[in-house]
Structure 1
Amino acid sequence: GARFRTALQGYKRLPTQHNLHRSWQGVDPENPNSAHPANEPRRQQSYRVPYEEQKTPPKYDDIPVIQAVEVESPLPTAGQLKKQGSMGKHMKSPSSSEKNAQCSPKNFLFETPLLRSRLGKRGAQMSDATADWLTCQGFPKGLQEIIKDATDVFPFRCFLLDNSGSMSEGDGKRIVNNQMRECQRWLELGQCMEFHGELCERMGAPAEFRFLNPPRAPGGKGEQYVPVGNIEAVDADMGFRTLCETLGCSPSGGTPLTQHVRAVRDLIMDNLDVLRAHRKYIIIHIATDGLPSDERLTRYESVREFGKAVAMLNHLPVQIIVRLCTDEEQVVDFWNDMDAEIEVPLDVIDDLCGEGGEVMEVQPWLTYAAPLHRLREFGVSNKIFDLLDERALTIDEMKEFMEMLFGVPFPDPRPWKPFEAFLHKQNNEAGLVLNPITLMMTPWINVRQLRKIYNKRRWKFRLCAASGPRIVATS
């Protein structure tokens, strides 16, 4: 495909997924018997093995709370940590893309006043204006409460946005006036990131949008590193405006994911003790349509180095969300295999239509609308949302999901009739949403389909004096 032309110069054919998997194991599929560095034993080249200079971070239980930094005390800056010798060793001979990733401006996510104010809060707050805005976006009250909880558990978010040349392909989809329209992948991602940028701005939830390549736009508009949600800034809306300007720049370049993952990890390590003391996590959101690339390395070496960079996040308070902007089988298989191999919590999410089709296969009673998709992209802590596209929910999980969706406690579905009557009421109050599969406005829950699956009535024989034995159903 077009997205692999730059990274595959010099190769005669596109590598298969099997070959890429062999490259993770330290085997060069093009020449297995050569002296290629990738042919070294798996024990030395596996991406699970961290760098020699990197020590495995301690687990939560290994850090006493008494060693935590007090909320009221100022936190050490990155410069102070460097002077104390607590910073990790720098990589040798960094590429130009790696220099860009390391030389970002001072990251406001970890500035002392903002970090202290966010970690010191007991639960996030949502203004009435933000609640009304989410209601207009189609979010029921339950999903709005989950957003508040998510900004508390995950107070910081780092969005790594793939603005490579392949993002200009025209197989993307976005919603316009409750209709699905075809567009460029970059425009599809732009609509997604504009929502998350405005949500972070309204919620005062700090986030940084890191574009993999420096944006190219006439007049010098656009920034590669855009902080959003800084409630202490003089112009609080400037970050969101800058994000929208940068999203308007045409995509170009490669996919240097490895350097940006390492840069984000360095930011986390600078404040690791504080994050662990407050039991907070960071969301790393990767939005891409391809595989990681490096201008200095071959395709297989780039994949292996990216695996090492992700493995270095083990035992850190992070959660990774991969938002795919393509349905190419090789790319999808690569990220799904990565999810199965690594130990870092990772969730792979397709676009709205692709994810909606997967959810419908296992939850045919649920309308997988855009608000639910945006919530999963934003990052939540409840694992039920991860199960929506994996397997059918149990009856107890279904009840819990209904409570989270509509924001009210539900009666037990055994017996079924009171549960269904209450569900009808909540379903009607929530209104209609766009079904990405049928492209029609439908309720959140198809009660008839739900009844077929979960209303397990028990059949037994009863003796009737008038008509004799017969089979009756009891709820």
Structure 2
Amino acid sequence: SRWEEVQDCVGYQAHMAGLFGLPTRFIMLNDACAAPTFSVGEPGPNANIPREIQVANESMARNHPSGPTPLSKHLRQMRKFIINISPMLQREGKTITVVLATEGLPTDEHGNHNPAIVQQFVADLRALEGLPVWVVIRLCTDDEKVFDFYNTTDAQLKLPYDVLDDFFGEAMEVYLRNPWLTYGLPLHRFREMGLRVNVLDKIDEQALSLLELRDLCFLLFGPPQPLPDPTVDMQGFFNAIQSLMSREKQQWNPITKTVTPWIDLNRLYRTYVAPSAPVPPSQQPHQYATPPPPPQTYYSQPQQTNQHHPGATFSHSQRPPQ
């Protein structure tokens, strides 16, 4: 279900917060929820990350879909919090990532939705402009009206802002624009947590340029030395990518429902070099060992649900990319 999808997302982000020491606060959108607020990795004398992760998972297990979507109320509270710590964030070169996980349009505390409430929500988002903040809207719905609303809101803001579908929905968006790329779960999780890398913002919006392709490969493979410039040495670039991929595990591909390499070199070559030609024989990809299939709990296609869930919002601080 969609709520299980949110539970899985929060569980992963809680684990990552503990692993990387990212102070993260989780806030249920409805105060009536069991354990409406919990955190992982926040400093303090009683900090206990393993216990905090356990509490996060138990809190999500105790909650169930219900209630309205009072997003504006929480945005105003978060704005006050961010303003209070902005001097520290700016001094340390950090930002706050605010992730709103929801399936619905903004409402008030009573579940009312009308133009005035929408205007207030947009105004509260706009009030974050100029602060060291990055906003991710993680949608948990198949309702096109909801998608259209949040995507349209993006055009009204001068604010770092991204709208994400679920793993399968985003994979399809990426496939339609960059079909040579396997949209693996690690990429989706990084985008969910608000990792600010320009090329990740573009993979579902446009076909990548050659230099953006190089940036993505550097992110995926972390080579020990710079990759060749594909605008100057395409052959050298393909050689380097082939060598790097030979060391990588294949990823579950939600489009083909199989495990595939991060990059389909034949399709990449046809996209950027010769539309009807395969990769030259010397550049054919290595054969990869097939790893075990991924956990079925996440990868089973979510079923549509008409239930409202309380949603979750979480934030953490991060350094901007160099």
- Alpha-carbon offset, residue 253 of structure 1: 1.1
- Alpha-carbon offset, residue 301 of structure 1: 2.0
- Aligned pairs (5 A) from 1:305-384: 305-384=120-199
The residue number in structure 2 matching 1:283 is 97
Confirm or deny that 1:200 pairs with 2:20.
Answer: no
CA gap 1:424/1:254 in 2 versus in 1, 3 angstroms: same
For the residue of structure 1 that corresponds to 2:136, the secondary structure is strand
- Alpha-carbon offset, residue 235 of structure 1: 2.5
The separation in 2 between residues aligned to 1:371 and 1:196, in whole angstroms, is 12
- Alpha-carbon offset, residue 396 of structure 1: 1.3
Confirm or deny that 1:245 pairs with 2:61.
Answer: no
Conserved? CA contact 2:69–2:109, under 8 Å: no
The residue number in structure 2 matching 1:145 is none
The residue number in structure 2 matching 1:442 is 260
Q: 1:229 aligns with which of 34, 37, 41?
A: 41
Conserved? CA contact 1:356–1:368, under 8 Å: yes
Q: 2:3 aligns with which of 186, 191, 206?
A: 186
The separation in 2 between residues aligned to 1:262 and 1:231, in whole angstroms, is 23
CA gap 1:251/1:418 in 2 versus in 1, 3 angstroms: same
CA gap 1:298/1:292 in 2 versus in 1, 3 angstroms: closer
The residue number in structure 2 matching 1:292 is 106
Confirm or deny that 1:403 pairs with 2:255.
Answer: no
- Alpha-carbon offset, residue 234 of structure 1: 4.2
Alignment RMSD, CA only?
Answer: 1.7
Q: TM-score, normalised by structure 2?
A: 0.79
Q: TM-score, normalised by structure 1?
A: 0.55
- Alpha-carbon offset, residue 231 of structure 1: 5.5
The separation in 2 between residues aligned to 1:437 and 1:214, in whole angstroms, is 38
Confirm or deny that 1:420 pairs with 2:235.
Answer: no
CA gap 1:268/1:455 in 2 versus in 1, 3 angstroms: same
Identical amino acids, percent of aligned pairs: 35
1:154-213 per-residue CA deviation (whole Å, 9 max, x = no partner) reads: xxxxxxxxxxxxxxxxxxxxxxxxxxxxxx110011111110100001111100000011
Letter in 2 for 1:429: R
Q: Which protein shows a greater Rg?
A: 1
Letter in 2 for 1:326: T
- Alpha-carbon offset, residue 426 of structure 1: 1.2
CA gap 1:394/1:214 in 2 versus in 1, 3 angstroms: same
The residue number in structure 2 matching 1:86 is none
For the residue of structure 2 that corresponds to 1:341, the secondary structure is coil
The residue number in structure 2 matching 1:179 is none
CA gap 1:269/1:231 in 2 versus in 1, 3 angstroms: closer
The residue number in structure 2 matching 1:41 is none
Bigger mean CA deviation after superposition, 378-387 or 207-216: 207-216
Conserved? CA contact 2:138–2:163, under 8 Å: yes
The separation in 2 between residues aligned to 1:367 and 1:379, in whole angstroms, is 20
Conserved? CA contact 1:201–1:230, under 8 Å: no
- Alpha-carbon offset, residue 298 of structure 1: 4.7
Unmatched 5+ residue regions in structure 2?
Answer: 276-322
Letter in 1 for 2:181: L
The residue number in structure 2 matching 1:271 is 85
The separation in 2 between residues aligned to 1:257 and 1:298, in whole angstroms, is 11
How many residues align structurally? 269
Letter in 1 for 2:58: E
- Structure 1 segments, 4+ long, off by >4 Å, are none
- Alpha-carbon offset, residue 456 of structure 1: 5.8
The separation in 2 between residues aligned to 1:418 and 1:269, in whole angstroms, is 48
Conserved? CA contact 1:324–1:349, under 8 Å: yes
- Alpha-carbon offset, residue 315 of structure 1: 0.9
